[in-house]
Amino acid sequence: MNCDLLVVGSGASGLAAAVTAAFHGLKVVVVEKDPVFGGATAWSGGWMWVPGNPLAQRAGIHEDPQQPRTYLRNELGARYDAARIDALLDNCGPMVAFFEQHTALQFVDGNAIPDVHGHVPGAATQGHQVAAAPYDGREVGPLIKRLRRTMRETSFMGMPIMAGADLGAFLSMTRSFRSLRHVARRFSRHLIDLAIHGRAMQLVNGVALVARLAKSAETLGVQLIESAPAKRLIVENGVVRGAVVATTDGEIQIRADKGVVLATGGFPNDVQRRRALFPRTPTGHEHLALPPLGCSGDGITLGESAGGVLVTDLASPAAWAPVSKVPYADGSIGHFPHIIDRAKPGLIGVLANGKRFVNEADGYYDYTAAMVAAVPPGEEVASWLVCDHRFQRRYGLGFAKPFPLPLAPYLRSGYLKRGASIEDLARVCGIAPAALAQTVRAFNEHAERGEDPEFGRGATPYNRKQGDPLHTPNPCVAPIVQGPFYAVKVQPGSFGTFAGLKTNGSAQVLDAADRPIAGLYAVGTDMASVMGGFYPSGGINLGPAMTFGYIAGRHAAGAMTLAQAPRRAA
C-alpha cells in the first residue's frame, strides 16, 4: 500500500495530524491497533489547554501572549523548553481556528476554567480551555460503529456526562427542578438511543472529540484501518519511509513518502517500562493506568528502533491521577479517576496513619504526587477519601453514585467502606482509628466556618471552581458529621505517560545528537511532555496533542514553516 503520510494510532494527536495533512492535499492512512478508533482520547474529558483560543477572543478575553509563558516558566523552571513552548503557544490558537473553519470539529467554551496553581505568577483565571462541542452520533454515519465507546467507570449506563452545566445538573437534580428536568430529558433520550442504536448517541467529552475528528478524516478521504498494529518501521538510508503493519490478512507494507507519525498513546500499560521508570512501583503492577490496554509503548519502541531517544528526565514520568479499583461482578477490575469528588465540601483524604497530607481540592496530579511523597518507604502507596452520609448521597464518592442510586451494590462489592462511627470506618479500612478521629475532629472545628487552616481547601480559583457553588461560605469545605461514614481507597494511577520521545518544535523525532530523523514524527503522549512532566492546568495533554498533531500534519505536507504558520493560519 502507498500513501504520503502514515499515522500510527487514532487518538486526538494522530487524527489531528491526519486531518491536517489530508486537508493540505496528502494521501493519508491511519492504522489503529485496537478494533475501535479513539484510544485514551475517547475516554477523556476532552478538555484542551489552548491559551488565546478563538472562543476566548470572541468572548472579549484578550490575554497578553507573555502571560502563559510567564506561568509556564514559573511552573516548569529548568524544564522550560522555549522552542517547543513557543511552537505550542504560537500554534494552539490557529489550530482551533483551522479545525473550526475547515472540519467537523467544532468547540465549546471552557474558558472559565482557571489554571491549577492560582498562586503562581502568570496563572490565568480564564481564557485557556476549549472542548469539542457535543455531537449527535447520527451525524457520524456508519463510522460510529468503529469508534471507541465512552469509559465505563465515568459514564452512567454508557451515557457520557459533560463537566460543567451537564454534570452540575446531575449533581443538583435533588435540589433544583431545572436540573431534574435536564437530567430527565438527557436520560430518556439515552434510553431511546440504547434501544435503537445499542449505544450512547449524545456524544460529549472525549467521544465527541474523536467522533468529530474521525468524521473529518473520513470526509477528507483519509483511509482508516482498525485492528492493524504497526510492527516495524521501514527505514531507507536513514529516512523513515513507512511501516510494516499486521492486518487480519497478514502483514503488509505501507509505504509513506512524507513519513510516519507515531501517535500510539505512550506507554501507560507497559508494565516493564513502568517498573523501570515509575517511582514506588517495584513490580510495575502497583500503578493503576487509566488509558486502554493498547497504549503500551509501541510508538516508543518504534521510535527507538529508528534512533529516537526516550526522554526520562522529567518532573514525573506520568500524568498522575488518584485512582480507585472498581470490582465488577464478573471478577474484572475497573479503574476510576477521582477528578470530581475531592474538591466538594465535606471530604478529606488521609493516609494509613489517619492524617491528611495535602489540599485535596488541588489538581489530581498534586494529590497523587503528594501521596507518593508522603507514604513512608516500604508501605503501600495509598490513601483514603473519607466523607459522611450527607456528602455521599449528595455528590457520590468515586464510583459510588449519589442519591437516588442505591449504595448496596458498592458496599457489597467492597468498593465502598462504611462505619457507624469514624473509628469503625478506620478499623474497616485499616487506618489508625484514634488518629483518624482526631483528624476529623480538628478538621470539623474549622470547617464549621468554612475554613481549612491546615491545607487551605478553597484557597485558589481552581479549588473553588471544582467545589460546590451552592455551598457557602467555602464551596470546598464542610464538616464531616452525619454518620454512617464512608471511605474509598485510592492509589497512584495516571491519565497517561509524560516520558516520551525527544522531539523538536515541528514534532520531528530527534536522535541522540538532537538531529531530526527524516520522515519521523511523534505526537501526543508518544512525544515527551512539553510540560516537562508537570501539570500546570487541566487540558495540558490534549491541547498539546491536538496542536503538535496539527503542526506535524502541516510540516509533512510542507504547508509552511513553523515561523510562518501562526500568522498565515490565523
Ligand X SMILES: Cc1cc2nc3c(=O)[nH]c(=O)nc-3n(C[C@H](O)[C@H](O)[C@H](O)COP(=O)(O)OP(=O)(O)OC[C@H]3O[C@@H](n4cnc5c(N)ncnc54)[C@H](O)[C@@H]3O)c2cc1C
Please give the residue ranges that form the binding site for ligand X (CB under 6 A): 8-14, 31-34, 39-41, 43-47, 151, 154, 229-230, 263-265, 290-291, 294-295, 298, 337, 495-496, 524-525, 539-542, 545
Q: Rounded to whole angstroms, how far apart are CA atoms 248 and 251?
A: 8
Q: Which is nearer to ligand X, 348 or 501 (CB)?
A: 501
Tell me, what amino acid is at 143?
A: L
Q: Rounded to whole angstroms, how far apart are CA atoms 566 and 54?
A: 13
3-state secondary structure of 494: strand
Q: Provide the minimum distance between the beta carbon of 51 and ligand X in the complex, in angstroms, as a whole number.
A: 14
Q: Provide the minimum distance between the beta carbon of 316 and ligand X in the complex, in angstroms, as a whole number.
A: 14
Q: Rounded to whole angstroms, how far apart are CA atoms 547 and 17?
A: 9
Q: Which residues pair with 239 in a beta bridge?
A: 236
The DSSP output letter for 133 is P
Distance, first Cα to last Cα, the chain? 35
Name the grid cell of 229: 498494529
Q: Which residues contact 162 (CB under 8 A, 6 or more apart)?
A: 131, 134, 204, 205
Q: Provide the minimum distance between the beta carbon of 118 and ligand X in the complex, in angstroms, as a whole number.
A: 19
Q: Provide the minimum distance between the beta carbon of 165 and ligand X in the complex, in angstroms, as a whole number.
A: 16
User: What is the signed CA dihedral for 104, 186, 155, 524, rounded to 10 degrees?
Assistant: 20
Closest CA to 86 of 544, 568, 555, 558: 544
Q: Rounded to whole angstroms, how far apart are CA atoms 37 and 13?
A: 12
Q: Which is nearer to ligand X, 33 or 190 (CB)?
A: 33
Q: Which is nearer to ligand X, 122 or 544 (CB)?
A: 544
Q: Which residues pair with 232 in a beta bridge?
A: 244
Q: Which residue is nearest to ligand X (CB)?
A: 11
Cis ω before 327 (30° cut-off from 0)? no
Closest CA to 126 of 462, 534, 363: 462
Phi, psi of 558 (to 5 degrees): 65, 25
Q: Which is nearer to ligand X, 527 or 562 (CB)?
A: 527
Q: Provide the minimum distance between the beta carbon of 129 and ligand X in the complex, in angstroms, as a whole number.
A: 9
Q: Provide the minimum distance between the beta carbon of 494 and ligand X in the complex, in angstroms, as a whole number.
A: 8
Q: Which is nearer to ligand X, 29 or 140 (CB)?
A: 29
Q: In which residue are the cell numbers 461560605 written?
A: 473
Q: Which is nearer to ligand X, 32 or 109 (CB)?
A: 32
The answer to whether the beta carbons of residues 53 and 111 sit under 8 Å apart is yes
- Looking only at the bridges linking them, the beta strands covering 230-236 and 500-501 are unpaired
- Looking only at the bridges linking them, the beta strands covering 250-262 and 2-8 are parallel
The answer to whether the beta carbons of residues 494 and 287 sit under 8 Å apart is yes
Q: Provide the minimum distance between the beta carbon of 64 and ligand X in the complex, in angstroms, as a whole number.
A: 24
Q: Which is nearer to ligand X, 432 or 523 (CB)?
A: 523
Q: Which is nearer to ligand X, 318 or 386 (CB)?
A: 318
The DSSP output letter for 137 is G
Q: Provide the minimum distance between the beta carbon of 443 and ligand X in the complex, in angstroms, as a whole number.
A: 29
Q: Which is nearer to ligand X, 46 or 566 (CB)?
A: 46
Q: Which is nearer to ligand X, 410 or 495 (CB)?
A: 495
Q: Provide the minimum distance between the beta carbon of 97 and ligand X in the complex, in angstroms, as a whole number.
A: 19
Q: Provide the minimum distance between the beta carbon of 351 and ligand X in the complex, in angstroms, as a whole number.
A: 25
